[in-house]
Amino acid sequence: MKKSHVIQVRYLDGLRYQRAVLAGLREIISHEKELNRINVFPIPDKDTGSNLRKTFTPIIEKFPLWETSINETSRSVAEVAIDYALGYSGIIFAQFLSGFAEGCHQSV
């Protein structure tokens, strides 16, 4: 049987969410130049990577919040993202995080 490289997540609390968000944001930031290079839609202004970095950096700087509640942590992340969202890509990502936070709140 082939081993799967998919991580099985049995629960998601605030700490796990923080770790996942931070790892994901850092990974995206590490590809800033490539994202700028391939940015052609909706406006070919070559700034998607830079806008995402500028949106994500304040989130990274606000951590660690060390909240154990997924509701509190996801809401805090979304608020910072909305406050610092830049460009279409930043706004879209901030709205995604806001929707995730809303979903976490409704599921409790």
- Asked whether residue 61 is assigned to any structural domain, the reply reads yes
Q: Domain limits at 39?
A: 14-106
- Asked whether residue 2 is assigned to any structural domain, the reply reads no
Q: pLDDT digits over 6-37, tens only?
A: 878 889 999 999 999 999 999 999 999 999 99
The H or E element spanning position 16 is: helix 14-30
pLDDT band at 43 (very low <50, low <70, confident <90, very high): confident
- Asked whether residue 1 is assigned to any structural domain, the reply reads no
Peptide bond just before 64 cis, omega within 30 deg: yes
Query: Global pTM?
Result: 0.85
The number of folded domains in the chain is: 1
- Asked whether residue 4 is assigned to any structural domain, the reply reads no
- Asked whether residue 92 is assigned to any structural domain, the reply reads yes
Q: 100: alpha, beta or left, given left = phi > 0 and alpha = psi -120 to 50?
A: alpha
